[in-house]
Amino acid sequence: MKKRKQPPRPETVRTDIISGTLRMHPKGFGFVIPHPIHGLIQDVFIPKHLTDSAIDGDTVEVAILDNPLSEKGPEGKITAVTKRSKDHLCGTIQKENADGSFSAYMPILGSTKPVLLAPSDKIPVRIGSRVVVKVVEWGNTKESTKGEILYCLGSIDDPSCDMKAAIEEFDLSPTFPQKVISQAKS
């Protein structure tokens, strides 16, 4: 005879608030690696719908959820972002809105969180333009993130801007350290 699965109990928030670094999974959920001062040895699982506006690498505060049926370890809800890991994002303009603004897809935010961009007279862009954006206002689960276009890298159709986009998106250095260059020459 099969056991009937019990309906999940409503999750209640305990008074435990911890801080740590968020590591996101491409599917939208994440794990907070607690700062050592909290004495937790397990990462805290954050379901997709409880990540708020946090992105990978942010320092966050987490309320631990009281979920006695969870076998995976502690689960939490992000209550605040205390330090952002990025102040700019890189992405592709997907749509021109009726008011002249643009909606852009930023891989780090996921496909369901477009960034709204005001049009710029100084930086001409169109659908398919790869842009670097300064975040003006971080959104949340109900409101979109708003940004300002810093510059255009080129078109999504131009493979020569792929490397520039990767450098911007992942905060990579565009040059190699001198030690690496010297070793490569020898």
pLDDT tens digits for 97-127?
A: 999 999 999 988 877 789 999 988 899 999 9
End-to-end CA distance of the chain: 70
Q: Sign of dihedral through CA atoms 159, 160, 163, 165?
A: negative
**Regions of the chain with pLDDT less than 70:** 1-15, 38, 40, 67-70
Indicate if 88-169 has the same CATH topology as 12-83. yes
Instruction: Provide the pLDDT for residue 169.
Output: 85
pLDDT score, position 105: 93
Domain ranges for the chain, please list them: 12-83, 88-169
Which residues sit opposite 18 in a β-bridge?
62
CATH 3.90.550.10 applies to domain 88-169: no
The one-character DSSP state at 5 is P
Please state which architecture CATH assigns to domain 12-83: Beta Barrel (2.40)
What's the burial of 170, exposed, middle or buried (CB within 10 Å: 0-12/13-18/19+)?
exposed
What is the rounded distance in angstroms from the CA atom of residue 157 to the CA atom of residue 27? 26
Instruction: Report yes or no: 61 and 74 within 8 Å, Cβ to Cβ.
Output: no
Taking the CB of residue 131, how many other CB atoms lie within 10 A of it?
26
